[in-house]
Amino acid sequence: MSEYILEIQNLTKDFPGVRALENVSLKVKRGEIHSLCGENGAGKSTLMSVISGVYPKGSYEGKVLYKGHETGYHSVKDSEKEGLAIIHQELALSPYLSIYENIFLGHMQTKFGIINWNYYITESKKYLDRVGLTEPPETTVSRLAVGKQQLVEIARALSKKVELLILDEPTSSLNDDESEKLLNLILEFKNQGITSVMISHKLNEVLKVADTVTVLRDGKSISSSNVKEEQLTETRIIRDMVGRDLTRRFPERKSAPAETVLEVKNWNVYHPDYHSIKVVDNVSFYLRKGEILALCGPMGAGRTELMMSIFGRSYGSRSEGEVYIKGKKVNLPTTRAAMDAGLGYISEDRKNLGLILIQDVKTNISNANLRKLSKMGIVNKNEEVLEAEKYRRELNIRTPSVDQITRNLSGGNQQKVVVSRTLSADPDIFIVDEPTRGIDVGAKTEIYHILNDMVAAGKSVVMISSELPEALGMADRIYVMNEGRIKGVLSHDEATQEKIMQLALVN
């Protein structure tokens, strides 16, 4: 038996106008955790799709050897039969089916045409146990938070006797606690002999769990390093990813906040389904011109609900309280009204980014900004292209052209299109909800630069961030929330990770 469970030899994969992978070689040892790193658009997801049969044999050049023999998969079903499971960047469960149906979907056995549901419910409990989910198997998947949905996907993989588990950015939408649990699970699988390949932009997590790290750059394999033997560091990985050293992740800024531009007083928001439950509880805060404000706190603290309810009442069955923009009391019943009042919002929801995936990149970027780009109702196409090109350059959106269909962009590059769209609408007050989720280290710094330039030009930013270093590095002030309430506020100079966590826990 070969030491390697997976070997990729000289793999090249083209899409119209794009060479996604060029002569890539990679070896994954049996039983190890192998991490794949690289910038947005480097080819990571494409490579995993080739391995798992999403792209069938014949659509690429080169060889994929799995358990010692060359694969020739025509679909994911083929690879699943051989114990290969992939968990995609965007979750792929059926939201309206139950947990156990999702686990066994497509591989239930019938006896005389009848499915023994009870058997599958009991059986699913075994796998839910292994991933640490305590929800009843009959629960509808859409009721679960993202982190738990991810665990259902993993339970599904286990039910198929997985030997090689591929995880594409599994922790990108999880908080610290959930991420840690997931990483521990992967380590536990390693003890059980399951091999994992994990794609991630979170290099600290990579170094925590991986035995080997492979870096892709521009579709080429750059390096494969043994983490322990080579004492691999984040700096080394970044250098291989971007081809140079990245010195400062958080650019320096001289902050000079001026007068208050947004003030929210005694804001209460009620749950969309359960009308008597308060999700945001009597919150007051202010934001100044030229200021970056961060909202920190654990998942479920009410940060997104707070900001979405202010932004045109996009969340909740009801919200009460007062909002002042530049000293004037406003009522913002719709997102249009919020945008007209100078607010812009970048949503955290990766699956539902608000992009129209079948439309091209330039149309998506100009979508929020058609008024500026049109005259008497007609969109000026040249202006539209120029605007899109500007953001393609500034944020390094990887696409052969701005006419590309957005769905064909890599996950991180789609996120950059979302950021561009809101920037292009040129709001005075910019609400960004996890703006750098799924974005590589280099592009993150670009986004920080842009936010800094915006506040230097007199705009204001409210940033919801689960990455504490990001909040600490960028914000003038940090409001700490938990359980729907503001628990405290810290200035840039006094804020530390410990103080933020402490504040979140006070009663």
Ligand X SMILES: Nc1ncnc2c1ncn2[C@@H]1O[C@H](COP(=O)(O)OP(=O)(O)OP(=O)(O)O)[C@@H](O)[C@H]1O
The site string for Mg ion over 400-419 (x = CB under 5 A, - otherwise) reads: ----------xx--------
Write down the residue that tokens 């591989």 correspond to.
Answer: 107
Nearer to ligand X, 123 or 234 (CB): 234
Nearer to Mg ion, 369 or 410 (CB): 410
Supply the minimum distance, in Å, between the C-beta of residue 39 and Mg ion: 10
Supply the minimum distance, in Å, between the C-beta of residue 25 and ligand X: 16
Supply the minimum distance, in Å, between the C-beta of residue 199 and Mg ion: 6
The site string for ligand X over 76-95 (x = CB under 6 A, - otherwise) reads: -------------x------
**What does the alpha-carbon distance between residue 339 and residue 431 come to, in Å, rounded to a whole number?**
11
In whole angstroms, how far apart are CA 198 and each of 174, 205, 400? 15, 10, 27
Give the pairing of strands 114-115 and 110-111.
antiparallel
The single-letter DSSP state of residue 310 is H
Give the pairing of strands 33-37 and 212-217.
parallel
Supply the minimum distance, in Å, between the C-beta of residue 11 and Mg ion: 16
Supply the minimum distance, in Å, between the C-beta of residue 128 and ligand X: 29
Nearer to Mg ion, 40 or 79 (CB): 40
35, 45, 420, 482: residue in contact with Mg ion (rule CB under 5 A): 45
Which residues have C-beta within 8 Å of that of residue 114, sequence separation ≥ 6?
A: none
Q: What is the dihedral of CA 194, 197, 198, 203, to 10 degrees?
A: 110
Supply the minimum distance, in Å, between the C-beta of residue 426 and ligand X: 26
Nearer to ligand X, 101 or 169 (CB): 169
**What does the alpha-carbon distance between residue 407 and residue 417 come to, in Å, rounded to a whole number?**
11
488 and 480 Cβ atoms separated by less than 8 Å: yes
Residue 436, contacted partner among Mg ion, ligand X, none, CB below 5-8 A by kind: none
Please give the residue whose beta carbon sits closest to Mg ion in the complex.
45
437 and 378 Cβ atoms separated by less than 8 Å: no
185 and 131 Cβ atoms separated by less than 8 Å: yes
The site string for ligand X over 15-54 (x = CB under 6 A, - otherwise) reads: x--x-x-----------------x-xxxxxxx--------
SS percent in the chain: helix, strand, coil, step 5 = 35, 30, 40
Nearer to ligand X, 18 or 203 (CB): 18
410, 436, 460, 465: residue in contact with ligand X (rule CB under 6 A): 410
The site string for ligand X over 351-390 (x = CB under 6 A, - otherwise) reads: ----------------------------------------
**What does the alpha-carbon distance between residue 397 and residue 163 come to, in Å, rounded to a whole number?**
35
- Which amino acid belongs to residue 52? S
Supply the minimum distance, in Å, between the C-beta of residue 264 and ligand X: 34
Supply the minimum distance, in Å, between the C-beta of residue 412 and Mg ion: 7
Supply the minimum distance, in Å, between the C-beta of residue 442 and Mg ion: 15
Nearer to ligand X, 45 or 445 (CB): 45
Stretch that binds Mg ion, among 44-52, 155-163, 173-181, 489-497 (CB under 5 A): 44-52
Supply the minimum distance, in Å, between the C-beta of residue 16 and ligand X: 6
Query: With CB under 6 A, what is the number of residues at the site for ligand X?
Result: 20
Q: How far is CA 172 from the centre of its chain?
A: 4
Write down the residue that tokens 């002042």 correspond to.
Answer: 324
Q: Give the number of other CB atoms < 10 A from CB of residue 494.
A: 10
Stretch that binds ligand X, among 12-20, 142-150, 308-316, 483-491 (CB under 6 A): 12-20
Q: Does 49 bind Mg ion (CB under 5 A)?
A: no
364 and 416 Cβ atoms separated by less than 8 Å: no
- Which amino acid belongs to residue 193? G
- 3-class DSSP assignment, residue 346: strand
155 and 131 Cβ atoms separated by less than 8 Å: yes
Stretch that binds ligand X, among 125-133, 332-340, 403-411, 483-491 (CB under 6 A): 403-411
Q: Does 436 bind ligand X (CB under 6 A)?
A: no
Burial 257-290 (b: 16+ CB within 10 A, else e): beebbbbbeebbbbbeeeeeebbbbebebbbbbb
Residues that bind Mg ion (CB under 5 A): 45, 410-411
Residues that bind ligand X (CB under 6 A): 15, 18, 20, 38, 40-46, 89, 398-399, 408-413
